[in-house]
Amino acid sequence: MADQLVFEGICPICGAGRRFEARSRDFRNHLKCSGCRSIPRERALFAVVEMYYPDWQTLTIHESSPAMRGASERFRSQAANYVATQYDPTLAPGVFDKAREFRNENLEHQTFQPESFDLVITQDVFEHVFRPDLAIAEIARTLRPGGAHICTVPLTRRDEPSRRRASLVDDEVIHHLDPQYHGNPISKDGSLVTVDWGFDILEYFARHSGLATSMVLIDDIERGIRARYNEVLICRKSLPAALL
Ligand SMILES: [Zn+2]
């Protein structure tokens, strides 16, 4: 039987896409919505945001390294307050680009005030960060109580311990394994993979941030949500006890 590569359904992000089509069985990066061209992990992340924060349009959202489509585009156009950041170490931190589309922020050392955001979104960012301990701690610092970091990361190691592929020592990249790169919309060189993550990322995030971490896996082809490594992590900042 030929592999099925086209599915009917309704895209949770754009609502207009009624068909999901892939070129191969590698759905993760290729099962595209006919409407917004989103891919499964973007639809999974958006579905989780809608499930946990159905009022997201009223919230203040920081997204690091957004995609130019899909969930990022909906957050950008419809959230009450949305700031997108990219990191260029040659530019001053905290400054916007000329088009005011991106604020320059190093996820590991952010210039945002504490408790600035209801939601922080990262989509396939944490496998490229050299100091994920600092990045998750900074995300926790900038979240408001009751807010959450919602993210996708390819958890390729599954039950095996996460392992480091590359680290940065005195501004020099040290490779512990063969270098691997993922596509990067703002760099033709792609992004170096620094960590192969497994499910122990939940414990790692909790340890370095104090956030309450959990993982959601949706498999629902009618919303085009089906792929390998399609888990969504949700890391919540507790409300003060008096408000519970
Ligand atoms: Zn769509």
**pLDDT tens column, 83-94:** 999 999 999 999
Ligand 1 centre and the CA of 18: distance in Å? 8
- Terminal CA-CA length for the chain: 54
What is the Cα–Cα distance from 115 to 45, expressed in whole angstroms?
Answer: 22
Position 179 pLDDT exceeds 70: yes
> Among residues of the chain, what percentage have pLDDT more than 90?
86
Residues 6+ apart with CB under 8 A from 244: none
What is the Cα–Cα distance from 212 to 197, expressed in whole angstroms?
Answer: 18
Ligand 1 centre and the CA of 114: distance in Å? 34
Reported pTM: 0.95
**The token pair that represents 203 in the structure block:** 């414990």
Ligand 1 centre and the CA of 225: distance in Å? 11
What is the Cα–Cα distance from 44 to 196, expressed in whole angstroms?
Answer: 21
pLDDT value, residue 188 = 78
121 sits in the region (left: phi over 0; alpha: psi -120 to 50; else beta) called beta
Which residue, 45, 37, 21, 40, is CA-closest to 29? 40
Amino acid making up residue 221: I
Ligand 1 centre and the CA of 1: distance in Å? 28
Burial 23-56 (b: 16+ CB within 10 A, else e): eeeebbbbbbbbbbbbbbbbbbbbbbbeebbeeb
Ligand 1 centre and the CA of 8: distance in Å? 12
Q: Would strands 81-86 and 60-64 be described as parallel, antiparallel, or unpaired?
A: parallel
Ligand 1 centre and the CA of 187: distance in Å? 25
pLDDT tier for residue 244 given thresholds of 50, 70 and 90: low
Mean pLDDT of the chain: 95
In the structure, ligand 1 is a single-atom ion and the residues with CB under 5 Å from it are 11, 13-14, 17, 33, 35-36, 38
Position 176 pLDDT exceeds 80: yes
Please state the φ and ψ torsions of residue 71, each to the nearest 5 degrees.
Answer: -60, -45
Ligand 1 centre and the CA of 170: distance in Å? 43
Amino acid making up residue 176: H
Position 148 pLDDT exceeds 70: yes
**The token pair that represents 147 in the structure block:** 């807010």
What is the Cα–Cα distance from 83 to 21, expressed in whole angstroms?
Answer: 31
Which residue, 116, 119, 113, is CA-closest to 59? 119
**pLDDT tens column, 7-56:** 999 999 999 878 999 988 889 989 999 999 999 999 999 999 999 999 99
Ligand 1 centre and the CA of 12: distance in Å? 7
Position 115 pLDDT exceeds 80: yes
pLDDT value, residue 211 = 98
Q: How far is CA 158 from CA 138, 198, 229, in A?
A: 25, 4, 9
pLDDT value, residue 32 = 96
Q: Which fold has domain 40-243?
A: Rossmann fold (3.40.50)
Average pLDDT over residues 165-179: 97
Ligand 1 centre and the CA of 107: distance in Å? 28
Q: Residue 99: helix, strand or coil by DSSP?
A: coil
The alpha-helical segments, DSSP class H, found in the chain are: 27-30, 40-52, 70-78, 132-142, 201-209
Ligand 1 centre and the CA of 204: distance in Å? 33
Q: How many CB atoms lie under 10 A from the CB of residue 126? A: 25
Ligand 1 centre and the CA of 10: distance in Å? 8
Ligand 1 centre and the CA of 46: distance in Å? 11
pLDDT tier for residue 1 given thresholds of 50, 70 and 90: very low
Ligand 1 centre and the CA of 168: distance in Å? 38
User: What are the residue boundaries of the structural domains of the chain, listed by start?
Assistant: 40-243
